[in-house]
Copies of this chain bind each other. A is one copy, B any other.
Amino acid sequence: MKQTATSSSIEDYVKVIYAFTEWQDKPITSSVLATRLGVANSSVSEMVRKLKDLGLVDHEPYSPIHLTAEGLSLALSMVRRHRLLETYLVQELGYTWDEVHDEAEQLEHAVSDHFIERMSAKLGHPVRDPHGDPIPDAHGNITMAPSHRLDELDPGHTGRISRISDHDPELLRHLESLGIGLDTQLTVVGRPRFGAGLQVRLDLSENDAGPQTLGDEVAASLWLASVGRHADCTVQELTGGSLMSPHSAQ
């Protein structure tokens, strides 16, 4: 398997392309990619041409961008790195879950494969990070309970929080103050007749203060796994063999 030489820019591009498709089924467009990376559209056009030359993406001009098998493999490797690092920072170094993202964003490009596997072993090979995001194993397999975004669920649905968007540290601190975290059991009660938001009830809360109303942004940042309906499922990724290890050459 070719060990394409990578840079931290290439790694971030591929990771963002993957992340977009992880929950939306459609492929990412040039301008969305630019926004997520915080660079100009023209920079994306150039870099996508380069990624195509490297065999990491498929792309026709003026069309959305798809990862190749090789690109997917690199992306999964970066996602594994990022999420293992977040988990490690919380469990071993006492970071709070709102502090870990930026640190992991830098470290993911700097640590060796050896470091990653040591960390994974020390943590007992976890399959999800502090925000519930699934951690691919060393072969790119992902294990995750089927989940839906809270704002897309009808009243009556009940389950446990399985995933929380980690991109806004303030939102994470807000959720903490509400007593909502990973694996919190809750039920969707309804929607306020006018106005925004979603009413939910925390099922196992000690101080049961009745239903709470979550803002739209909050509800869209939470995923719910239905209780007792599905077992975790493993998705075998397309990439045969181990994840690419662009970092072992360091």
Contact = CB atoms under 8 A, between A and B. Distances in A.
5 contacts: A93-B119, A99-B114, A102-B250, A103-B115, A107-B107
Among A89, A102, A107, which residue has the most Cβ atoms of chain B within 10 A? A107
If over half of A's interface residues share one DSSP class (helix, strand or loop), that class is named, otherwise mixed; here it is helix
Contact of A110 (B93, B109, B114, B118): B109
Given A102-B250, A106-B250, A250-B102, A95 B118 contact: yes
Interface string A102-139: 11001101111011001100100000000000000000
Contact of A103 (B89, B106, B112): B112
A3 B222 CA distance: 39
A92 interface: yes
A145 to B, nearest CB: 30
A210 interface: no
A240 interface: no
Given A102-B250, A103-B115, A115-B103, A122 B93 contact: yes
Contacts of A106: 110-112, 250
A192 interface: no
Contact of A107 (B89, B110, B114): B110
Given A93-B119, A95-B118, 16 more contacts: A92-B92, A93-B115, A93-B118, A93-B122, A102-B112, A102-B250, A103-B112, A103-B114, A103-B115, A106-B110, A106-B112, A106-B250, A107-B110, A107-B111, A109-B110, A110-B110
